[in-house]
């Protein structure tokens, strides 16, 4: 139960940060949001998002993971994995 709450916290925090980076409203973003569904998710904003997430959660994602992330869900997973280590 506690871990589910933690995951929800991470998800909502990631969505908030992503909304700020992509300059969209929080309610426009869902876990399935991706570069295909979001006009402002380009290669540079992708890097900005990763940097913002890393700063916010005090983690450092491996480069392969950074390049593999293609949805908000994948980003949340990557943050969870990184924090779990």
Partner 1 sequence: MKFGRFLIPPALLSLYAWKKYGCRISPRSEIEWSSKLTIGRGVNIASFCKLKSSAGPLSIGAGTQIAPFCFITSHAGGLEIGKDCMIGPSATIAANGYRYDDLDVPIRLQEQTSAGIRIGDNVWIASGCVVLDGAEIGSGTIVTPNTVVSGRVPENSVVQGNPAKVIFTRR
The residues that touch partner 1, with contacts defined as CB under 8 A, are 44, 47-48, 50-51, 60, 62-63
**CA angle (71 as vertex; 68, 73 as ends), nearest 5:** 105
Task: Provide the minimum distance between the beta carbon of 5 and partner 1 in the complex, in angstroms, as a whole number.
Answer: 31
Tell me how crowded residue 65 is: count the other CB atoms within 10 A of its CB. Answer: 17
Task: Provide the minimum distance between the beta carbon of 42 and partner 1 in the complex, in angstroms, as a whole number.
Answer: 11
48 vs 57, which CB is nearer to partner 1? 48
Task: Provide the minimum distance between the beta carbon of 2 and partner 1 in the complex, in angstroms, as a whole number.
Answer: 32
The torsion of the CA quartet 58, 5, 26, 48, rounded to 10 degrees, works out to 20
């Amino acid at each position: 139960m506690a871990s589910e709450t933690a995951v929800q916290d991470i998800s909502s925090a990631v969505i908030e940060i992503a909304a700020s980076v992509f300059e969209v409203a929080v309610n426009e973003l869902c876990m399935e949001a991706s570069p295909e569904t979001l006009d402002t998710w380009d290669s540079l904003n992708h890097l900005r998002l990763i940097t913002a997430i890393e700063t916010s959660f005090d983690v450092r994602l491996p480069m392969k993971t950074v390049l593999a992330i293609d949805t908000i869900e994948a980003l949340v997973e990557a943050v969870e994995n990184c924090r779990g280590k």
